[in-house]
Chain A
Amino acid sequence: MEIYRLTIHEAHELLKKREISCEELTKALFDRIKSVDEKIRAYITLDEEGALQKSREVDKRKDFTNPLTGVPVAIKDNICTEGLKTTCASKILENFIPPYDATLSVRLKSRDAVILGKTNMDEFAMGSSTENSAFFATRNPWDTTRVPGGSSGGSAAAVAADECIFAIGSDTGGSIRQPAGYCGVVGMKPTYGRVSRYGLVAYASSLDQIGPITKDVTDCAMVLNAIAGRDIMDSTSADIPVPDYTLSLKPDVSGMKIGIPREYFGEGIDAEVREAVLNAAKVFEKMGASCEEISLPHTEYALWAYYIIAPAEASSNLARYDGIRYGVRAKDYEDLIDLYKKTRSEGFGAEVKRRIMLGTYALSSGYYDAYYLKAQKVRTLVKRDFDQAFKKYDFILCPTAPTVAFKIGENTDDPLKMYMNDVCTIPVNMAGLPGISLPCGFSGNMPIGLQIIGRPFDEPTILQAAYAFEQATEYHLKKPCIDSDTASSGEQKCDKEPDAGKGVIA
């Protein structure tokens, strides 16, 4: 097998045994990127020089105790990396090189992970397809005419196309889980407060959360071990002990109670998606868990409340991009107001402007109660639905997204249709819960994501459930067929007709 295809745990074993060097692995990944990224376009910035230098340092040190040491990672371009451009896929930060690291970057660096580069995304994480990047759209490795999902589309595509060993994303309304689902990889949004947000360029502060995108559930647990925990730089990070998440990797769900919310299987949910998720429920039942249909009655309002709260916070968070201190400034302006207007008109894309306007309106004097305050009340109700359910059920099972990845350009003229893509993931952010997406089938050639939602800070349970499902199935072993790599290497086998039923244990 080509070493760029390794998972973290596989790479770790080989590095530890010195069967491969970190430099070899890093080089293999850059070769891989050079051969396929032309088609996928997952990266905005590559740091080949920095990564190779780091890899040589790691090889010299010869200490591979930590599973992330020497493992190449791709980081979403809204997470600050000192000395490495961080653009948020926006023109307004096109030239921004942070003089500081996000806590996430510090944690990865302190474990000697090798940062390959920064991945493409929807501008300021606003979008569900990565088409809102100011620079270019990323393509889905399973079908390059389709979107990889978003907003962490670059990270998910990079993992699916083996352009990194693992990646980091951020999730405000589904931005890790939905692209992970669309790209057939594992993506987790941890509980709000589990991972420090310091240095994550804010979209909606009360909803944003950083998380891993990996090739399997074991890797997800390993990354979470490294990045979770209290950070004095982030007041909203929780002062709750971090367990060893790899201890949850037991293929055992017997006796667990699973809630299947009927609201996530209604109108707009693709029949094949529904079937795959219900099929997954059967897998769990076969392993000794019990499934019951439940109701989360306020689900339908969550999306609309989200589109008040997130834009409201965004309108304030993005106000600092005024061209005064950093970033891009418009060239010709008359006075201060004109400088603001031109800089922001030229610097922001259409979706960002749309959300800034929505949020500004929602917070305006005289409208605050009707919009923002009301939305916060809805948020409380959404959270209460989950609290009720978790009194009885250990986790909740539902689709990650209503459909599989759609065609590039299919939804760009219809923001409301685009927003519907996050209907299954948004309630989880609104309630601050942990959620994980992992592959549970295919519709044609396109992967289907299964979402497992847990209690606050109960990442261990959803990791255990996800691991059990993964062990019982083979969906995660399927790889996309990227045309150019069949041409360049005969090794890659493309599954022409993936069979959704094939992976289910008898």
Chain B
Amino acid sequence: MRIKTAGWDARYFQMTFQLIFLSYGFLWLHWNTELISGLIFITSGFVFQYIADVLFIKKNALAIRNKNNWQSVLVSCLSLCLLLKTNGWFICVLASAITIFSKYIFRIRGKHIFNPSALGIAATVYLTGNAWISPAQWGSSIVLLFAITCLGCIVVTKVQKLDVTLAFTGTYAALLFARQVLYQGWPLDFFMQSVTTGSLLLFSFFMISDPKTTPDHPAVRIIWAMAVALISFYLTAFKFVNGAPIWVLVCSQPFVPLLDLLFKAKRFEWKTPSVEKKFSIINSTIKPSNNYH
């Protein structure tokens, strides 16, 4: 059984949008150093994926090697390219390693716990102290344009589910609006600048919405996204934490398996041709999944 989405893999859509966003950075905003670190993220990502395939999959008797893993690797690595800034190539390699291996190491009941790129970013920033996130690197006006286009594309093509994205963005924006405009009395453009940051856009469309690391139950999923938004808002507005949503997401994800256990529901699987052929029904929440995304 599979949650109904569009007829094709959402990761192609994500990849396209991430590539457009990235090319905008390279061509218009002249991100020159990011080109090299971007190449390192992607190359090392694929190398680590190969190593992980060799190390982990052969040991697992139930495993069927998924040939279509490259979409997940590319989407995760592009997220790193777009969000993470580092002091050196070895930090990039470390971030890729955490991103890729986290999917194999942190697993409960066949589902990986953390969103790979969110964990990769958070762990690299926290552990090395040599990486950081630049939330404003796209400027404000273009982000709004991208957000609207992105939302439009999803609505028209139904390529991925919007429930988590809308629940998170809606709650977060509503709370910011209530505080900044209604309570503090700042003009509307002050609020617009707060919500149109590139990192927030990428986070809400491509990170928190990852169906593999959100609760299976639809209602629980929405409440969970709203809770992430609430805590992120608190940390941003009152504690002045930069990049709060990513930290909150990573900290909240260990609770997702617990929520899945309490509120049982059908599990999401990427719709990829190879998976379809080899096993089409994954209905059990107890049996380990073979799909290493």
Q: Do A and B actually bind?
A: no
Chain B interface (Cβ < 8 Å from any Cβ of A): none
